[in-house]
Amino acid sequence: MDIQKLQRDIRALARERNAVILAHNYQRGEVQDVADISGDSLGLSMAAAKTDADVIVFCGVHFMAESAAILSPDKTVILPRMDAGCPMADMITADDVRRIREEHPGVPIVTYVNSSAEVKAESDICCTSANAVRVTRSVGAPTVYLTPDQNLAQWVARHTDQEVLYWKGYCPTHHRLRAEDVERTKARYPGAPFVAHPECRPEVLDLADAVKSTSGMIEWCREVDADTVIVGTETGLFHRLQKDSPHKTFVAPSDAMICPNMKLTSLEDVLEALETLENVVTVPEPVRARAVTALERMLAAGRD
């Protein structure tokens, strides 16, 4: 496989199709390198909405492409691999959210953007891993219900006086990281700071010098006064970290921090998506209108 030729072909066809290529921070390095924009899930969708592209090729997972379709109803959104899903997003349904509302009347439902459009549509407000605390505080209620990530919810609960109820979903990749993995890595790299994603278990976050979203990790790693940094998130981020801070060493606390769904998309998939313009992701307008309201409420509350 000639990676450089594939990348040239993709860029040429993207120009011909007036397409913007988005790549999540967890994608393969060669896919990130061919993208117009790399970043976190919601940030990518927001950036794409501001472009004059006719086509959005989202190198990520299904809920991310849905978010792009929610924010850019006038653009064609393509997911190169339709089988690229998110186990955490699949752990809750719209019926589950309706049942939560029945069981907890009057309690605002805050939903992590790592969720389906249908789940967003049934929620009061959305949040990201970066602004979850701010959004939760913004609803002004003594009790809130966070879905679907239990680890993010427990992290939020540490930083607010509100009672935080939560759905018991989780990201399998982040949930796989154990405190003993971190302790063993810290012993191997004495003095190296540890930054973790809030999707990690509470006992892992207890060991962290900082808890950040993927975009927050990039900035934090750039600024931290250390030659070696232990990074507790999906290892796809290391490609971006190394490009951003080439003189630093980044260490994964576990070899298991790999999301198979995020690694499905290849350069060949991206090229085929541009050639065929198939694998279009759409959101029915009644669902889209309600989901975008939840996202707009989040933006009104402020985004870190």
Residue 20 pLDDT: 97
How is residue 293 written in tokens?
A: 């309201």
Is 89-171+286-301 the same fold as 3-85+262-282? yes
Residue 147 pLDDT: 98
DSSP state of 169: B
Measure the CA–CA gap between 202 and 210, rounded to whole angstroms: 13
Secondary structure (3-state) at 175: helix
CATH class of 3-85+262-282: alpha beta
Q: Superfamily assignment of 89-171+286-301 in CATH?
A: NadA-like (3.40.50.10800)
The one-digit pLDDT tens for each residue of the chain (304 residues) are 689 999 999 999 999 999 999 999 999 999 999 999 999 988 898 999 999 999 999 999 999 999 999 999 999 999 999 999 999 999 999 999 999 999 999 999 999 999 999 999 999 999 999 999 999 999 999 999 999 999 999 999 999 999 999 999 999 999 999 999 999 999 999 999 999 999 999 999 999 999 999 999 999 999 999 999 999 999 999 999 999 999 999 999 999 999 999 999 999 999 999 999 999 999 999 999 999 999 999 988 864 4
DSSP state of 59: E
Domain ranges for the chain = 3-85+262-282, 89-171+286-301, 173-251
Residue 42 pLDDT: 87
Measure the CA–CA gap between 251 and 191, rounded to whole angstroms: 13
CATH (residue range 173-251)? 3.40.50.10800
CA torsion 89-95-101-102 (nearest 10°) is: -150
Instruction: Tally Cβ neighbours within 10 Å of residue 251.
Output: 15
Phi, psi of 271, rounded to the nearest 5 degrees? -65, -45
How is residue 22 written in tokens?
A: 């988005």
How is residue 118 written in tokens?
A: 């249908």
Burial degree of 270 (CB within 10 A; 0-12, 13-18, 19+):
buried
Residue 301 pLDDT: 85
- Which helix (DSSP H) or strand (DSSP E) does residue 77 occupy? strand 76-78
